[in-house]
Structure 1
């Protein structure tokens, strides 16, 4: 098993918020209003720059998008 990536190398977790929003015909602003998270924070998440996600935020996103965490995020292979 390979060692974990260093912070300088980034992470392999990818967010699929763009695809989910398009499939549901939602804007980032509309999602922001539904989940109570700023559009700036959702944009950080959408662009794979987030370092952490609260479970409460993840739950709200999954509820609003009618998806599972596995549909919202994936981990790229090494």
Structure 2
């Protein structure tokens, strides 16, 4: 995952990672250990600063959280 530059426009996609972790009583550190992705990279995703995510990472996160992609990523309403 690559952090988005600060001046880049919003993607209109929100990552619900915080909410899903809270619902499951799981920490970012625990998720990191389960999926093999650094805490820093998961934090980038969690804070909606990722420009891209590998399908393999997306699959691993969804498997670890027992969720669907649509549970993790949501479109934000247009302003």
Give the alignment's TM-score, normalised by structure 2.
0.87
> What CA RMSD, in Å, does the superposition of the two structures yield over aligned residues?
1.1
Question: Who is 2:54 aligned against?
Answer: 54
Distance 2:11 2:55 in 1: 19
Distance 1:60 1:48 in 2: 18
Task: Please give the residue correspondences for 1:24-43 in structure 2 after superposition, counting only pairs within 5 Å.
Answer: 24-43=24-43
Question: Who is 1:68 aligned against?
Answer: 68
Q: Which has the larger radius of gyration?
A: 1
Specify every segment of 5 or more residues in structure 2 that has no aligned partner in the other structure, as ranges: 1-6
Specify every segment of 5 or more residues in structure 1 that has no aligned partner in the other structure, as ranges: 1-6
SS of corresponding position for 2:64: helix
Report how many residues are paired.
72
